[in-house]
Structure 1
């Protein structure tokens, strides 16, 4: 089982979502639907925010693009094949190391950490 985390990052930390299994465009848009706009409200951003994601296939899928367009979400343009430009990757390394040091033994502990 693959476990990934997704955080909508804007002027603070948005909701943290535990994802079990593989992420695809359907799951990604479901997570956006349930969390993105509420995170913006929680952070008092209203509709004045820009979503940053890379060119992963689930991010560029027709389904995702249509959802973002319907919701009028501004998306930061991202050059193809540029993972080294993504500043969040450096943060993920720090998060992974901090979690590793805590040594969770199951998903419940991982989610709590």
Structure 2
């Protein structure tokens, strides 16, 4: 699995997730990789509570998104750019997904 984020000014950091995505792992990702924006749609209730608390504790405001709206999901644009960038290589660089 790959986690990525984007904010008003562009893309943030991304990370490959090799462990089960528990609420504790997710908070570690937020603490390590989070920059300006986070989308946490479709999250189970117990995960959502701990993430919302972490965001509030760090003074981070999130954009509101309608549930299950892939056509309005800006992260999809990031995947298009990633595929376009990786398509330039004959062979993927070491460490790529």
Q: What is the TM-score with the length of structure 1 in the denominator?
A: 0.62
Unaligned 5+ runs, structure 1: 41-50
Partner-residue secondary structure (3-state), 2:80: helix
Q: Compared with structure 1, are the counterparts of its residues 68 and 35 closer, same or farther at alpha carbon in structure 2 (3 Å cutoff)?
A: same
Q: Say whether 1:62 aligns with 2:49.
A: yes
Alignment of 1:36-75 (within 5 A): 36=34, 39=35, 51-57=37-43, 61-75=48-62
| 2-structure distance, mates of 1:58, 1:99 | 32
Spell out, residue by residue over 1:40-82, the C-alpha distance to the aligned partner (whole angstroms, 9 max, x if none): 5xxxxxxxxxx24141316962111111122121011111111
Aligned residue pairs: how many? 95
Aligned-CA RMSD value: 2.9
Structure with bigger RCO (C-alpha 8 Å, 6+ apart): 2
State the alpha-carbon separation in 2 of the partners of residues 25 and 19 from structure 1: 13
- Note the residue ranges of structure 2 that are not aligned, 5 or more in a row: none
Helix, strand or coil at the partner of 1:55:
coil
| Conserved 8 A contact 1:5-1:18 | yes
CA deviation after TM superposition for structure 1 residue 6, in Å: 1.4
Structure 1 residues 13 and 85 mapped into 2: Cα distance closer, same or farther (>3 Å)? closer
Distance (Å, rounded) in 2 between the aligned partners of 1:70 and 1:85 = 28
For residues 96 and 23 of structure 1, the distance between their equivalents in structure 2, rounded to whole angstroms, comes to 24
Most deviating of 23-32 and 3-12:
3-12
| 2:59 partner SS | coil
